[in-house]
Amino acid sequence: MTATDDLLDNARRYAAGFTCGDLGRAPARRVAVVTCMDARIDPARLLGLTEGDAHVIRNAGGVVTPDVIRSLAASQWLLATEEVVLIQHTDCGVLTSSDTAFREQVRRETGHEIAPGVEPSGDVDTDVARSIAAVRSSAVLPHRDGVRGFVYDVGDGSLREVRPH
């Protein structure tokens, strides 16, 4: 049995007891969370969210990219969110390499290019502040003032707010 088979068994058990079919499309808390795909972060448990509470957008590094802006625009324009919570974290694997070096490695190994990402600074507080600035400066987002950024400590589970520069 593979890990995917185990996950599918869990999905069947989940569906057997499913009671959330009547939730609306718009998140009840009117918030979108942008965070890293790191498996050590469980945004629902960390923030006390349940189904229907928030949009959760995850990517490598939890950084605000053009695709994250597109997702936030859909979240705000089409589904009534008004706040954005940005969460990056300590000990992030994305900080172990530059985006340029990573893209070059993929190109060398596969012969194919991947889209550029956001070059990490090497300092998570700086990267969170840059993501806050990216949301606040986006002309396509109607709600840019209600954005706050945080660093999650994977060692002790704490969440610390980052004040933009």
Q: What pLDDT does residue 122 have?
A: 82
List the pLDDT tens digit at each of the 165 positions of the chain.
899 999 999 999 999 999 999 999 999 999 999 999 999 999 999 999 999 999 999 999 999 999 999 999 999 999 999 999 999 999 998 877 777 888 899 999 999 998 877 777 889 999 999 999 999 999 999 999 999 999 999 999 999 999 986
Q: What pLDDT does residue 116 have?
A: 77
Rounded Cα distance between 21 and 125, Å, is 39
For residue 90, give the CATH number of its domain.
3.40.1050.10
Q: What pLDDT does residue 103 have?
A: 86
Tell me the pTM: 0.92
Q: What pLDDT does residue 114 have?
A: 86
Q: What is the dihedral of CA 96, 102, 104, 110, to 10 degrees?
A: 130
Q: What is the dihedral of CA 138, 80, 52, 148, to 10 degrees?
A: 40
Any idea which residue has 């998140």 for tokens?
A: 27
**Domain assignment of residue 9, yes or no:** no
**Domain assignment of residue 60, yes or no:** yes
Q: What pLDDT does residue 96 have?
A: 73
Q: What pLDDT does residue 98 have?
A: 77
Q: What pLDDT does residue 16 have?
A: 97
* Token digits of residue 6: 């185990």
**Domain assignment of residue 58, yes or no:** yes
Question: Using an 8 Å Cβ cutoff, are 50 and 44 in contact?
Answer: yes
Three-state secondary-structure class, residue 134: helix
**Domain assignment of residue 16, yes or no:** no
Half-sphere exposure of 71 (CA within 13 A, CB side): 18
Question: Using an 8 Å Cβ cutoff, are 131 and 34 in contact?
Answer: yes
First-to-last alpha carbon distance for the chain, in angstroms, is 50
Q: What pLDDT does residue 95 have?
A: 75
Q: What pLDDT does residue 102 have?
A: 85
Q: How many domains does the chain have?
A: 1
**Domain assignment of residue 5, yes or no:** no
Rounded Cα distance between 43 and 54, Å, is 10
Domain that holds residue 83: 23-162
Residues whose CB is less than 8 angstroms from the CB of residue 135 and which lie 6 or more positions away in sequence, other chains included: 64, 69, 72, 84, 86, 141, 144, 147
**Domain assignment of residue 29, yes or no:** yes
Q: What pLDDT does residue 134 have?
A: 97
Q: In what order do the strands lie in the sheet with 54-59?
A: 54-59, 31-36, 83-89, 147-152, 159-162
